[in-house]
């Protein structure tokens, strides 16, 4: 990873484009078993980040990550804003006084995911975005322990994210509105899992094309 966050504008654009390209699909998933406002909330947060992209790129990684988290908390609203905000703020704290490399990124992302689990009182297997983020954290941790090319890492991250997303289809939901549907939620992919998978895959592609 680059020493400074000059990739942030490209990362934000990649994530925003991925959500925009699949907005109807994710909205339909959310309308089926969720509150129906997931995409609108995400797009509001991504737009807020887009407006700050250049200033974020001028910061160091810890400050940039924490500012991303605070921006998402303030702009997205609802559970997603709180959870994504928690993820990035925890990552920023974990990166303090550390250089950006794969090992430190893996540790920071892992800490961020653990903070999300604590904030949401949720874990893998409950039909949420954690079913995507936890496998991705595992891939990053494993990759940090072995020599791996950026392109291969991006592919493995994308595969883990997609498998995690797809796994939510046959799960019972225990969090959010979907939990009230009981077995009727089975057969539907979780909207938060799908949106996080889309953004992670887009970000992985941007990072893979950058200089490490």
Locate 152 and state its tokens.
């291969």
Q: Is 149 exposed, middle or buried (0-12, 13-18, 19+ CB in 10 A)?
A: exposed
> Residue 99, SS3?
coil
Measured between alpha carbons, how far apart are the two ends of the chain, in Å?
A: 4
Locate 194 and state its tokens.
């799908």
- Judge whether 169 and 187 are in contact, CB under 8 Å: yes
> In this structure, what DSSP letter does residue 178 have?
G
List the pLDDT tens digit at each of the 212 positions of the chain: 555 688 999 999 999 999 999 999 999 888 875 677 889 999 999 999 999 999 999 999 999 999 999 999 999 977 889 999 999 999 999 999 999 999 999 999 999 999 999 999 999 998 899 999 999 999 999 999 887 887 899 999 999 999 999 999 887 666 555 554 445 556 678 989 999 999 999 999 998 877 55
- One-letter-per-residue 3-state SS of 53-121: HHHHHCCCHHHHHHHHHHHHHHHCCHHHHHHHHHHHHHHHHHCCCCCCCHHHHHHHHHHHHHHHHHHHC
| Candidates 1.20.120.1200, 3.40.50.1000, 3.40.718.10, 1.25.40.340; CATH matching 8-208 | 1.25.40.340
């Amino acid at each position: 990873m680059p020493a400074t966050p000059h990739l942030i504008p490209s990362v934000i654009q990649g994530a925003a484009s991925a959500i925009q390209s699949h907005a109807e699909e994710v909205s339909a998933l959310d309308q089926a078993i969720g509150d129906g406002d997931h995409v609108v909330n995400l797009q509001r947060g991504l737009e807020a980040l887009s407006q700050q992209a250049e200033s974020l790129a001028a910061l160091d990684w810890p400050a940039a990550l924490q500012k991303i988290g605070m921006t998402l908390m303030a702009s997205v609203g609802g559970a997603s804003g709180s959870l994504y905000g928690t993820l990035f703020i925890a990552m920023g704290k974990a990166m303090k006084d550390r250089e950006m490399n794969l090992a430190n990124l893996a540790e920071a992302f892992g800490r961020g995911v653990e903070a999300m689990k604590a904030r949401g009182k949720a874990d893998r297997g409950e039909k949420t975005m954690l079913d995507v983020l936890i496998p991705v954290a595992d891939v990053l941790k494993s990759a940090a322990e072995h020599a791996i090319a950026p392109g291969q890492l991006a592919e493995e991250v994308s595969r883990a994210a997609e498998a995690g997303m797809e796994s939510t289809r046959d799960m019972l939901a225990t969090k959010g509105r979907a939990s009230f549907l009981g077995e009727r939620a089975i057969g539907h992919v979780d909207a938060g899992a799908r949106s996080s998978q889309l953004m992670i895959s887009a970000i992985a592609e941007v990072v893979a094309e950058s200089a490490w």
